[in-house]
Chains A and B, each alone.
Chain A
Amino acid sequence: MENAVVKLRGYKDGLHLIIRPKVSLIDIQNAIKELISGMNQPLSGTSVHIDMSTSPLTSDDLRNLETHLSDNYNLVVSGFNVLDENDESPILAAPAAHSIPQGLPADNQQDYGHAQIVRQTIRSGQTTSCLTGSVIIYGDVNPGGEVIASGDVIVLGALRGNAHAGAHGKLTSVIMAMELVPLQLQIGSYVNRPPLGQKPRGYPEIARVGAEDIIIVEEFIKF
Chain B
Amino acid sequence: MGKVIVITSGKGGVGKTTSTANIGTALALLGKTVVIIDADVGLRNLDVVMGLESRVVFTSMDVIEKKCDLEKALVKDRRVEDLMLLAASQRNRKDDIKPEQMQDICERLKVEYDFVLIDSPAGIEQGFHNAAAGAEEAIIITTPDVSAIRDADRIIGLLQNQDINPISLILNRLSPTLVKKGNMISKNDVLDILNIDLLGIVPEDEGVIASTNRGVPLVHNDGSPGAEAYMRIARRMTGQRVPIPEMREDNFFSNILNWFSRK
Chain A residues with a Cβ under 8 A of chain B: 120-121, 123-126, 139-140, 142-145, 158, 160
Interface residue range, chain B = 10 to 19
Distance from A15 Cβ to chain B, minimum over Cβ atoms (Å): 33
* CA–CA, A20 and B150, complex, Å: 45
- Cβ of B38 under 8 Å from chain A: no
Interface of B is mostly: helix
- Residues 116 to 159 of chain B near chain A (Cβ within 8 Å): 150-151, 153-154, 156-158
* Closest residue on chain A to residue B152 by CB atoms: A124
Closest to A160 in B: B193
> What is the CB-to-nearest-CB distance from A143 to chain B, in angstroms, rounded to a whole number?
6
Give the distance in Å from the alpha carbon of A120 to the alpha carbon of B145 in the complex. Answer: 24
Query: Which of B153, B154, B156, B157 counts the most chain A CB atoms within 10 A?
Result: B153
Q: CB distance B192 to A125 under 8 Å?
A: no
Residues of A within 8 A of B153 (CB): 123-125, 142-145
In the bound complex, how far is the Cα of B156 from the Cα of A126, in angstroms? 11
Complex: A140 Cα to B194 Cα, angstroms: 10
Q: With A143-B150, A144-B150 known to touch, is A123 a contact of B192 (CB < 8 Å)?
A: no
Using an 8 Å CB-CB cutoff, how does the interface string of B22-50 with A read, 1 for contact, 0 for none? Answer: 00000000000000000000000000000
Residues 165-222 (chain B) with a chain A CB within 8 angstroms: 192-193, 195
14 further A-B contacts with Cβ under 8 Å, apart from A121-B195, A143-B193, A145-B153, are: A123-B153, A123-B156, A124-B150, A124-B151, A124-B153, A125-B157, A125-B158, A126-B157, A139-B195, A143-B150, A143-B153, A144-B150, A144-B153, A158-B192
CB B132 to nearest CB in A, in angstroms, measures: 16
A189–B182 alpha-carbon span in the complex (Å) = 36
Q: Which of B39-80 contact A (CB under 8 A)?
A: none
Specify which chain B residues have a CB less than 8 angstroms from the CB of A125 in the assembled complex: 153-154, 157-158
